[in-house]
Structure 1
Amino acid sequence: MVDRNEKLNRKRQQNEGDEPKEMRQEAKRLKEEPIEEAPAASTPTTKITDLNNDCLEHIFNHLKFADLFNVADSNKHLVAAVGQVFWRKYRKIPVDLYTCVANDAYFKLTPNCIWLYDRTAALKFLRNFGHVITDLRITCFRTNDAYFTELHRYVFEYCSETLIDISFSYMNGCVFSSIEKSFPNIQSVNFNYGRMNENLCQINKWFPNVRHLNFGSFVKLDDRKCIQAHYQHLQSLTVERFNSQNQIGFEETNVMEALRLNPNLQHLKVKNFPTKFLRKISKYMQRVENLEITLRSGDINHRGPLIRLENVKKLLIHMESEQQYGFMNLPFTFSHVEELRYVTDSSWKSFYLQWNAFFSKNPLRKVHFKACKLGRNAPLTIKNDILTKDLPLVTELILENCRISINEATGFLNECRFLTKFGFNFTSLHEYEMLLKLLGTVTEWHGNFDESNRYVELERLMIKQK
């Protein structure tokens, strides 16, 4: 065994001796030379802030609302790109600084509003996105003056150039108490609940280009003469009658002077003024196209000839107490109304019997009747041929809280060829299902049934012409 190994070693040494000398020296050098490690990969030096806004917008476009909010608050160099994404996604959604309510989440996003509950979050939101907000709602309920002073400063600093609509609710008298800057682009201003101090009552100063001025419910004014001014662009005005007990609303003299100074009003909404006063201001209402009147039973006392309002195309009347013949005592007559909305405690039947003459004299396209109390249990018994005769051009008929039968519904759908929307009440889901069977599976009508209110709304599908 040993002899065999020795022979193999001798043979290997003999073979190595046959190799060229240069090869043996190179192999020895490579064996003794240390192996160098490969150089490490270089670390990239490009940061996210080095990207242009187009690239950043493409990236941020995939983020949700909360992530956009956090990114904007993390680096000032990213605010512009995030703002563009916010403007593209959410510019049409109003922002409500509803910081008076305790909530676990600092914000809530809905299709109709962005709610901000946390005070710190509200200020950060204005700082980061104020330059793209167009519709802002400020709720001042149960908040201290120091916070709202800071909030108003942020609103003026970051939103004054972009806001188009602004609303104030539950004002505590400190709004705009120490600010001296106006909103040049605001067109719509809304006040609801709370007190307007003398500074805020300078509406022409704060909102020089206002077009829509709405004083909602329970607004106390330190200066009721604030509407007794000429507003260069005013088109819409909403006012409520003065209530001495609560010290809210406007005196009749305030409203009359406001109408005299602003003769180009197209939309007028008056609440709780007596019909006697409506007669007085009728000469200032000849250009009004959209008229809304809210009446109480004690406000209806009409005597004298009717006054024609030729330009009214949209009419809304709200009877706050049950008085079936109250609307007949209005001092007005109309001939060009295309849309009618009537809210009352009466039933549809009494409403229709009293308004059929009105129907025949106006080219009505949309009729919305809402019975607040009595309608659900009062079935409709008007014949379909009478409805189609008096409402030949109607495209939308909404009978809210009005119960009708299946036969009445199908008959009206078949007879009224221009109708595109029909709303009413059934007594049960079973009636709705029977109606769908009668209409057939192949039909141009489709609908929804709200079980909580037993309300049915049908819409006609548009058939494409070949």
Structure 2
Amino acid sequence: MTDSGATSNGEHQQVDCVDQALKRHRIDDTLTNEMRLTDLIDDCLEPIFLKLSIEDLVAIAHTNKQLKPAAASAFARKFGTKKIVLSNLKDDLPIDSRMDSVQVVDLNVSLRLLRSFGHKISKLHIGHKKSMGSIVFSNRLLIQYANEYSKSLVEITFGPLASSELSLAAHESFPMVETVRVWRCNLRRFGQSEFDGCFPEIRRLEFVGNVPSNECIVDCLPNLEHLAINTSSFMHIKGTLPISLALNPQLLSLTLKTNDALFILRKGHPYLGLLESLSVTYDSKDLLNEHFGFEDNEVIQFESLRKLEVNFADFCCDSIPHIPFSSHRLTELKVSIGDCDHKTCNRLVRYLQKHQTVTKFTLINRSDPFWEPSNISEESKMKISQAMSSLQEADFWNIEFSTGEVKQFIGNCKMLHRFGFKLINGGDFNDLKKHLGSEWEASIDPNGNVKIVRK
């Protein structure tokens, strides 16, 4: 009886357990069937939304107000630090808008993106190409939406745009924008009030491949610190740009890649007393121009200049041309040359001898690295090293050194702690490491470019 009773009780207990499990299963099924995505808290939704594309997040935010906060949070985490490029152009975009960015090509998605997540975007590029025959001014609409919904923008790029599309005068200001880039836009109808009224906090202004108007920057922009002009079509405003420099003496950096860079600097340099960084591109024949030619020893003196970048536009020339800029505070010098017949670098060596404050020097040879070897002689390399007693960092791009030349260069520059160059024979790298000893760390890439750093 006892065993029979125990068996019976055990069977009843098993039945009860099965019944309870079935009930729980039915309850779980009921809950599962009735639960909606909107019942989940945002903390649960966000990891799911992080796996979605920008188009999917826009679709969710556009169709469901309850899910919009979680979608916005996921957008901010996944795309908030990237540049948002609203353009249906594939390859015709500037390099800075191809790197670390996300592109949206559909106009409707772009508009919904700005309306839904505009407040989460910090960097924006607008340059939507209209379809043939379209009468919809898509870029005007995108700019209007950005102005209305993207109040947290700190950087904005326009282009390519037609002159009729880039109009900002009717809009409210972008209160936080500090960087404005205008890329390949026709600005003949673009007035100075456009910048004054729309970008009260502008600190960096860049024109790349544009046709600016005479009036676009002839005014005081009190917060402007960095100005870059990179276009060959600047002939008609060479007289007004020096006025712009005079009205903005607070500039800290200036980049000029124009046909009349030397003329502009000669006229405008008295107003650039605070300038710390200058990048200028010019042709050697510009130095001999009858209107603003330079004498052999003539220089433009900058009081505060610390960093100078000189790019010689000549692809072929007899020797490294004269550098007509000077500063007793210069610490960084970068020189970019074409395929010059520079067996000797006498002008460059004399310039370095006069600027003993230079601690970082870069020399770039723009000739084809796969076909044209460097023409810089061993004598010139050694003269360069001997001319800079305070040199700490040196980079020679596409300029070949032998193991012996490396050792001699280091021996001449006692304070050198970083050195970059191209090894003539990549197979000599291990031999070079042995000669350098434990004092230096060395690395080489597949193209034979070597970096050595003093430990």
Question: TM-score under structure 2 normalisation?
Answer: 0.77
Cα distance in 2 for residues equivalent to 1:157 and 1:269:
32
Query: What are the equivalent positions in structure 2 for 1:180-199 lying under 5 Å apart?
Result: 180-196=171-187, 198=189
1:367 maps onto 2:364 in alignment: no
1:448 maps onto 2:438 in alignment: no
- CA RMSD of the aligned region, Å? 3.5
1:87 maps onto 2:84 in alignment: no
1:381 maps onto 2:374 in alignment: no
1:406 maps onto 2:403 in alignment: yes
Q: Give the SS at the match of 1:265.
A: coil
Query: What are the equivalent positions in structure 2 for 1:56-135 lying under 5 Å apart?
Result: 56-57=45-46, 60-61=49-50, 72=61, 75-101=64-90, 112-135=100-123
Q: 1:369·1:398 contact (CA, 8 Å) conserved in 2?
A: yes
Aligned to 2:245: 259
Q: 2:343·2:377 contact (CA, 8 Å) conserved in 1?
A: no
Aligned to 1:269: 255
Aligned to 1:157: 148
Q: Give the SS at the match of 1:125.
A: helix
Q: Tell me the number of residue pairs that the alignment of Structure 1 and Structure 2 aligns.
A: 409
Cα distance in 1 for residues equivalent to 2:81 and 2:104:
16
Q: Give the SS at the match of 1:167.
A: strand
Q: 2:220·2:247 contact (CA, 8 Å) conserved in 1?
A: yes
Q: Give the SS at the match of 1:403.
A: strand
Q: 1:163·1:183 contact (CA, 8 Å) conserved in 2?
A: yes
Q: For the structure 1 residues 232 and 412, does the alpha-carbon distance in structure 2 shift closer, same or farther, using more than 3 Å as the test?
A: same
Q: Give the SS at the match of 1:377.
A: coil
Amino acid in structure 2 at the alignment position of 1:237: L
Q: 2:191·2:216 contact (CA, 8 Å) conserved in 1?
A: no
Question: TM-score under structure 1 normalisation?
Answer: 0.75
Cα-to-partner distance string for 1:231-286 (whole Å, 9 max, x where unaligned): 1211112236774xxxx565222111111111111111223225354322221122
Q: 2:191·2:215 contact (CA, 8 Å) conserved in 1?
A: no
List gaps (5 residues or longer) in structure 1.
1-36, 104-108
Cα distance in 1 for residues equivalent to 2:101 and 2:155:
13
Rg: which structure is higher? 1
Identity %: 22
Query: What are the equivalent positions in structure 2 for 1:311-460 lying under 5 Å apart?
Result: 311-321=304-314, 322-323=316-317, 327-328=321-322, 330=324, 332-345=325-338, 347=340, 352-360=345-353, 361-373=355-367, 376-382=373-379, 386-413=383-410, 416=413, 418-436=415-433, 438-439=435-436, 444-451=440-447, 454=448, 456-460=449-453
Q: Give the SS at the match of 1:227.
A: coil
1:212 maps onto 2:209 in alignment: no
Cα distance in 2 for residues equivalent to 1:306 and 1:283:
13
Cα distance in 2 for residues equivalent to 1:312 and 1:343:
19
List gaps (5 residues or longer) in structure 2.
1-21, 288-292
Cα distance in 1 for residues equivalent to 2:82 and 2:167:
28
Cα distance in 1 for residues equivalent to 2:389 and 2:55:
51
Q: 1:152·1:175 contact (CA, 8 Å) conserved in 2?
A: no
Q: 1:364·1:391 contact (CA, 8 Å) conserved in 2?
A: yes
Report the Cα offset of residue 185 of structure 1: 1.2
Q: For the structure 1 residues 281 and 199, does the alpha-carbon distance in structure 2 shift closer, same or farther, using more than 3 Å as the test?
A: closer
Q: Give the SS at the match of 1:151.
A: helix
Cα distance in 2 for residues equivalent to 1:175 and 1:427:
52
Report the Cα offset of residue 351 of structure 1: 7.2
Q: 1:400·1:425 contact (CA, 8 Å) conserved in 2?
A: yes
